[in-house]
């Protein structure tokens, strides 16, 4: 088995909560050495957020596996100096503070670059390092609100619906951060010069709103939520309630799939309504809804499992974890007795293998500092001074 693809990449992770920690966990899964740097006080708030599993939360445990933990007070000169010694050995620093905080701590990009010319600093924030909103607080709901995405989520005539998949945090703060920092790392390996990667979660949500953007380009404005091609505006693409209060997802966009679905429903008369809108579309949707309402979800699954026309069940997550396709892909793994998601990108000659659970706060402080040449007495002195 080959070494993991990111073996040898050293990452200093200053982030908390969800976007940054998940991004750096992906790096750790693919072989990077990730050192989670936390202050000696509260540290990462995710440790105690939500349902607990022992001393830490399930949330913390599922976005921090495979990392080391170092407690370090960056507000003290000694803590900053130790961090910069680590920067000399690192490839990437990831931070999620408000713009300007890194400079106030004395570890802004100019300082990091002077310490290590090839360092990549990835800054994750809601609105980016520049612009009139740069210093504003926010959360996912705010970022996707500004990006025009929240307005598009929901049913026709209803209020915007809040998705329980954090689009801005994950698409922006995790995946776009990974894209940006890995692009910069590749360049740094080739040129010896790092970069400051500025990731705004609002930007990333906006830049992926492709279908609403196409409507704006064509018509000057978006369609009302629930009325676009992929949000419920046509009979062939939407969710339909079943007799037991569950739902089926109909994605029969291609005419061949819609025609096959109509034959399966024994309603060939609905075939002309494939992409119908207006009154015709409403009548067709009502007819399809009535049909799906006559059987349970399990009964419809049994029928459509034999028919390849993009009609599938809407599962609850606990059901997804046990689904045959998810199991076949190995998308659920167990780490220290806790089920977790496996890395979502499959690579040839790669296995996650045994991975360490999310670390206790400061669990690796002594070993990391010993690697910098500090002896036990010096480490004890720093701990006594509150630096560690």
Question: Minimal CA–CA distance to 185: which of 95, 129, 128, 119?
Answer: 119
What phi and psi, each to the nearest 5 degrees, are found at residue 10? Answer: -110, 125
SS3 160: coil
- Please give the DSSP secondary-structure letter assigned to residue 148: T
Our answer to whether residue 169 is catalytic in this structure is: yes
Question: Minimal CA–CA distance to 276: which of 328, 225, 234, 238?
Answer: 234
In a 13 Å sphere around the CA of 370, the CA atoms on its Cβ side amount to 8
Q: Which of 39, 139, 187, 366 is catalytic?
A: 139
- Please give the DSSP secondary-structure letter assigned to residue 142: H
Question: Minimal CA–CA distance to 387: which of 360, 369, 371?
Answer: 369
Question: Minimal CA–CA distance to 356: which of 1, 19, 28, 17?
Answer: 28
- Please give the DSSP secondary-structure letter assigned to residue 124: E
Q: Which of 73, 169, 203, 228 is catalytic?
A: 169
DSSP per position, 184-223: HHHHHHHHS---EEEEEHHHHHHHT-HHHHHHHHHHSSPP
The H or E element that residue 230 is part of is: none
Contact 194, 118 (CB under 8 A): yes
Contact 297, 246 (CB under 8 A): yes
Our answer to whether residue 139 is catalytic in this structure is: yes
Question: Minimal CA–CA distance to 8: which of 38, 36, 30?
Answer: 30
Contact 219, 269 (CB under 8 A): no
Q: Mention every residue, 6+ apart, whose C-beta is less than 8 A from residue 279.
A: none
Angle between helices 19-29 and 177-191 (to 10 degrees): 50
Annotated catalytic residues are 139, 169
């Amino acid at each position: 088995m080959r070494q993991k693809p990111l073996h040898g990449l050293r990452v200093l992770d200053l982030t908390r909560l969800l976007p940054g920690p998940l991004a750096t966990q992906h790096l750790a899964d693919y072989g990077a050495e990730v050192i989670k740097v936390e202050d000696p006080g509260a540290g990462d708030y995710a440790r105690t957020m939500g349902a607990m599993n022992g001393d830490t939360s399930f949330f913390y445990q599922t976005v921090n596996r495979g990392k080391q933990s170092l407690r370090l007070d960056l507000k003290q000169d000694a803590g900053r100096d130790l961090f910069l010694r680590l920067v000399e050995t690192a490839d990437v620093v990831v931070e999620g503070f408000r713009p300007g905080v890194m400079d106030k701590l004395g570890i802004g990009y100019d300082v990091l670059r002077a310490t290590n010319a090839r360092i990549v600093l990835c800054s994750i924030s809601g609105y980016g390092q520049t612009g009139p909103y740069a210093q504003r607080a926010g959360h996912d709901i705010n970022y996707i609100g500004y990006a025009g995405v929240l307005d598009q989520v929901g049913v026709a005539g209803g209020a915007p619906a809040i998705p329980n998949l954090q689009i801005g945090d994950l698409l922006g703060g995790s995946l776009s951060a990974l894209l940006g920092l890995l692009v910069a790392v590749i360049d740094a390996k080739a040129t010896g010069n790092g970069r400051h990667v500025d990731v705004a979660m609002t930007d990333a949500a906006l830049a992926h709103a492709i279908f609403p953007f196409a409507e704006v380009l064509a018509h000057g404005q978006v369609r009302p939520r629930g009325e676009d091609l992929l949000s419920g505006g046509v009979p062939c693409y939407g969710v339909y309630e079943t007799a037991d209060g569950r739902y089926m997802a109909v994605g029969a966009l291609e005419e061949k799939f819609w025609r096959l679905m109509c034959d399966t429903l024994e309603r060939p008369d609905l075939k002309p309504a494939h992409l119908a809108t207006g009154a015709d579309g409403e009548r067709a949707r009502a007819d399809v809804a009535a049909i799906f309402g006559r059987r349970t979800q399990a009964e419809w699954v049994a029928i459509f499992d034999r028919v390849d026309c993009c009609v599938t069940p809407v599962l609850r997550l606990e059901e997804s974890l046990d689904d045959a396709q998810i199991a076949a892909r190995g998308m659920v793994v167990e780490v220290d007795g806790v089920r977790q998601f496996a890395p979502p990108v499959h690579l040839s000659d790669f296995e996650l293998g045994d991975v360490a659970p999310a670390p206790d706060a400061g669990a690796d402080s002594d070993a990391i500092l010993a690697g910098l040449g500090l002896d036990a007495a010096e480490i004890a002195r720093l701990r006594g001074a509150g630096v560690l």
